[in-house]
Structure 1
């Protein structure tokens, strides 16, 4: 996309501040790392959707997730904006395009005086039955994540990883297969992929996953029969598939299952040492982020002459983007973490878990 000669350069109206990526004329932050007066939020994971902002603009699904997670701390004013709609905020047009990451995930499309910036949030390019697929949006600057921004990260076909799980269950019919899966997005995707593969038995879930599974169902995502694993007898679990937060598969909760086969669904399972450290017997490389090839393909699909890289392996992607003719630089945003570390996404934060931080105000 060619920026008009009179349009301002994106660096003059979008900048990195301590609270995050700040749109100067719009006076709002995108995915701020701490509470601010106005936040544009790309999706519901806690490293992007923080509580206690004075006003939040997000897709209806993301707002539902934030309400589920944070209750009254979801934000002072919650403003829904569906894909393809536009909203003017202090002279900046804001729109959302699908990111394909989790339910309601979006790219933030910002337009100001003939200049357009697209902020990807987190995204993936693989087909996912639980959310709307990523859509490339032409722009002047593409702000991309780089969670798996190294050539070693080339994810295998997802259906093949689900087939590995089902084959293991066939080989060990007396053992419970417990799959560690992040509560928002990954758990629901694994369930939907199992259903697509023809698995019709009840799927047992840890209590921490129930609320978000219910939310997905409320938004039309079919998950089949789910049963609570917490109160089940060990003999009931023999031969069954259980989903739980990653932290639960390594603690005593999992030991109450029937000779469990410990599995983990994550793009990080490509790194054998990570699987070994977590005691994972059956690693499943199922990622909700673009892999190396998909990151590069996305740069080509979007076609922005300038690329800003936000978090992950920034240097490698910046270097390769430059070799391919893009003007690229790293933003080095703080406050982004691995989603798998957040195991209580469905629950209301415990008292004191979310420190009260001062609202970031315009200087």
Structure 2
């Protein structure tokens, strides 16, 4: 009889640890051997001795941390390829979250665990789509695990943005979006919707856009927001779309722009009070995480009799699992819910649980 996953996948202060394999998955601090699901800061940390991840995630880590901090040794593993580590078969599958994001499938003595990392089920022109993998235990996030979170189609939200640009041609539209994943996705969605004019970028999001293009994701014409304007210079970029970190809209940086319309692209914009508190004039419900229905659909798809919940609204999801006859377990991992979608993370690119 295969061993129960709890006997070989341990919850530690550093995160999930595969005991027979001798490695952590998305550890919260530097370790000897780490498998990284994707490049966001609450999953990818600097200073590991050895790192295994997709080639794209390794490139993102090098861009963010520097060559000398992205792992002393770096082992790329493409989607669908497998490697065996101390008897544990490890395979990476697309998670659909951001470029290079992966689910980590681990098999040992006939037992299979899939650690999803963060994921979404919507089509994203900038990354590979989520692939369900049947398993004995599925480790899921629960960022938007409440029935109130049912995200509208991305095309609907992009159309709202373009309609506002057409309605207010004398104003700049500043979209607050995370540097990694969300910025590039919004750009790609705008291109698909027919916006072929240059999109202007805050300096904090330029570097990763350049990286995405170097990794084969076309983004079209991108321009930096002009710098060095003298005092008294007329407001700039009327009728244009600007993408910036979420907090930039409230800084002196935004004063050079023509009567900016403050936009924010996040699943949290479902909560009207949250948009109001942030003085968001045009909330755009565009998320890089699965909503409530997509979480439940994913759990049906992977057919796991047991689901572990790593962070987010675990109580609601665990209850919903019990109604399906599935054992739910809230892991309460440290380091998965310390950063909000405001403040520090905005330059790093995550949309995390508040």
TM range (shorter): over 0.9
The total of aligned residue pairs comes to 341
| 1:183-229: CA deviation from partner (whole Å, max 9, x where unpaired) | 00000000000000000110000011111001110111111100001
Counterpart of 1:253 in structure 2 is 253
Q: Secondary structure at the match of 2:259?
A: coil
Counterpart of 2:207 in structure 1 is 211
Counterpart of 1:3 in structure 2 is none
Task: Tell me if 1:343 matches 2:346.
Answer: yes
The answer to whether the 8 Å contact 1:206/1:230 transfers is no
Counterpart of 1:126 in structure 2 is 122
Counterpart of 1:273 in structure 2 is 273
Q: Secondary structure at the match of 2:138?
A: strand
Counterpart of 1:111 in structure 2 is 107
The answer to whether the 8 Å contact 2:178/2:347 transfers is no
CA–CA distance in 2 between the matches of 1:277 and 1:96?
39
Q: Secondary structure at the match of 2:322?
A: helix
CA–CA distance in 2 between the matches of 1:160 and 1:83?
31
| 1:322-359: CA deviation from partner (whole Å, max 9, x where unpaired) | 1011111111111013455413338xxxxxxxxxxxxx
CA shift, 1:75, in A, is 1.2
Counterpart of 1:292 in structure 2 is 292
Task: Tell me if 1:66 matches 2:61.
Answer: yes
Q: Secondary structure at the match of 2:346?
A: coil
CA–CA distance in 2 between the matches of 1:303 and 1:232?
57
| 1:49-89: CA deviation from partner (whole Å, max 9, x where unpaired) | 00001111000000000000000211111110000000111
The answer to whether the 8 Å contact 1:250/1:278 transfers is no
Counterpart of 1:22 in structure 2 is 17
| 1:297-336: CA deviation from partner (whole Å, max 9, x where unpaired) | 0000111111111100001001101101111111111101
CA shift, 1:236, in A, is 4.0
Q: Secondary structure at the match of 2:98?
A: coil
| 1:26-50: CA deviation from partner (whole Å, max 9, x where unpaired) | 1111000111110000000000000
The answer to whether the 8 Å contact 1:263/1:282 transfers is yes
Counterpart of 1:152 in structure 2 is 148
Q: Secondary structure at the match of 1:109?
A: strand
Counterpart of 1:138 in structure 2 is 134
Task: Tell me if 1:97 matches 2:93.
Answer: yes
CA–CA distance in 2 between the matches of 1:209 and 1:230?
14
The answer to whether the 8 Å contact 1:98/1:133 transfers is yes
CA–CA distance in 2 between the matches of 1:45 and 1:68?
12
**CA distance change for structure 1 residues 230 and 343 in 2, over 3 Å: closer, same or farther?**
farther
Unpaired stretches in structure 1, ≥5 consecutive residues: 1-5, 347-363
Task: Tell me if 1:178 matches 2:181.
Answer: no
Counterpart of 1:360 in structure 2 is none
Runs of 4+ aligned residues of structure 1 deviating over 3 Å after TM superposition are 232-236, 337-341
Counterpart of 1:240 in structure 2 is 240
CA shift, 1:272, in A, is 1.0
CA–CA distance in 1 between the matches of 2:340 and 2:86?
33
CA–CA distance in 2 between the matches of 1:271 and 1:252?
27
CA–CA distance in 2 between the matches of 1:241 and 1:232?
20
Counterpart of 2:352 in structure 1 is none
The answer to whether the 8 Å contact 1:60/1:81 transfers is yes
Counterpart of 1:351 in structure 2 is none
TM-score, length-scaled by structure 1:
0.92
CA shift, 1:177, in A, is 0.1
Q: Secondary structure at the match of 1:88?
A: strand
TM-score, length-scaled by structure 2:
0.94
CA–CA distance in 2 between the matches of 1:249 and 1:84?
41
CA–CA distance in 1 between the matches of 2:290 and 2:246?
21
Counterpart of 1:262 in structure 2 is 262
CA shift, 1:235, in A, is 4.5
